[in-house]
Amino acid sequence: MDQRSAARSLGQGAQGQGPASGEVSPYRRFSRDEWARLRADTPLTLDEADLGRLRGLNDPINLEEVVKIYLPLSRLLSLYVEATQSLFHVTKTFLGGEVTKVPFVIGLAGSVAVGKSTTARILKALLSRWSSSPKVDLVTTDGFLYPNAVLQREGLMRRKGFPESYDLPALLEFLAAIKAGRDAVTAPVYSHLVYDVVPDERITIDRPDILILEGLNVLQTSKLPKNGAGLPFVSDFFDFSIYLDAEDDLLKSWYVDRFLRLRETAFRKPESYFHRYAQISADEALKTALDLWTNINLVNLHDSIRPTRPRADLVLTKGADHRIESVDLRKL
């Protein structure tokens, strides 16, 4: 089954429409209920205990959300993986020799506080519990941020999370090795507690069947040189990409709420980079959170992150309480 047939198979009987009546769009839009019907017979392999371990701070996702949104998505991805594997075998036959099998790579992008980490963990759990028991790994691009010492030296600490704060050559080298089918590919580790890359610590990715790469700017492009000699984009290594979206006011609320909750928890640890915020008043903490959102994260969202949304294969749009309200699937 090729990818076009896979998409038709998933969409049979669905009534999804474009984003707006009369609007030309490369996407087919599904309401929450329309998308939920595409689950078919995909089994629910998570329970409340699993979800409790996967749920992120300030993300009240429940099993109903898994059933209505993530099980249809799991089914879609299974069809895409099957189609890609078929293409792999066809290519192997065409080349007439040994071709190394490579992981199916899923990119997941979206704003700070939109819930990417929870979505990535849920997808990893669901995909790894398919009947074929694939090996699924998850890597975040946080590890590919330049260390704080470099960012401070370059005057980029308040640009952390913007495209220029990442070691793009290292990230591209990692993905190139993954797509070359190499074993034991390593990636740097990031600590949210100390807000920095952990020196001399690496994780090893050893030829998974599926790799999920989660990060703010994984769909980012750059200006193409006229001679065509530019570096590839991170997304050039993706087999499927997802953008997680929400209105600015919701993102602001989720970010501020999360900051204030962290102030009462992780920030209280002396080793936390943000420990100083646990010592200030509630009013000062709120003012700080609003400053960080307005002058850093919102700017990054508008300038760098949301402009990449049209490049995704699937857009999940959240409403209140992190509830997915609509799904846009790219037409084939």
Domain ranges of the chain: 3-330
The pLDDT of residue 59 is 83
User: Given this model, what pLDDT does residue 227 score?
Assistant: 73
- pLDDT for 303-324, tens place per residue? 999 999 999 999 999 999 899 9
Evaluate the CA torsion angle 133, 33, 247, 60 in order and state its sign.
negative
The pLDDT of residue 96 is 85
Per-residue pLDDT band at 89 (split at 50, 70, 90): confident
Q: Tell me what pLDDT residue 98 has.
A: 72
Give the closest residue to 104 by CA, choosing from 82, 89, 129, 122: 82
Return d(Cα 71, Cα 44) in angstroms, integer: 7
Higher-confidence position of 192 and 2 = 192
Summary mean pLDDT of the chain: 91
For 293-305, what is the mean pLDDT? 97
Q: Using pLDDT thresholds of 50, 70 and 90, give the confidence band for residue 72.
A: very high
pLDDT more than 70, % of the chain = 92
Please state, in angstroms and rounded to a whole number, the distance separating the CA atoms of residues 226 and 290. Answer: 41
| Residue pair 87/102 in contact by the 8 Å Cβ criterion | no
Judge whether residue 18 has pLDDT over 50: no
Task: Point out the least confidently predicted range of 72-81, 178-187, 218-227, 284-293.
Answer: 218-227
Q: What is the pLDDT of residues 202-254, one digit of tens each?
A: 999 999 999 999 999 999 987 766 777 777 899 999 999 999 999 999 999 99
Q: Is 50 exceeded by the pLDDT of residue 21?
A: no
Radius of gyration of the chain (CA): 20
Proportion of the chain in helix, strand, coil states, percent, rounded to 5: 50, 20, 35
Of 51-60, 143-152, 292-301, least confident by mean pLDDT is: 51-60
Q: Which has the closest alpha carbon to 125: 188, 212, 184, 65?
A: 212
What average pLDDT score do residues 121-138 get? 95
The single residue listed with the structure tokens 């371990």 is 53
* Lowest mean per-residue pLDDT among 15-19, 161-165, 176-180: 15-19
Positive or negative CA dihedral for 239, 167, 59, 317? negative
User: How far is Cα 85 from Cα 108, in angstroms, rounded to an integer?
Assistant: 21
Which of the two residues, 12 and 320, has the higher pLDDT score? 320
Query: How would you class 294 by CB atoms within 10 Å of its CB: exposed for 0-12, middle for 13-18, buried for 19 or more?
Result: exposed
pLDDT for 16 beyond 60? no
CATH superfamily ID and name for 3-330: P-loop containing nucleotide triphosphate hydrolases (3.40.50.300)
CA distance 218 to 139: 12
> 297 with 112: CB under 8 angstroms?
yes
Q: What is the pLDDT of residue 22?
A: 53
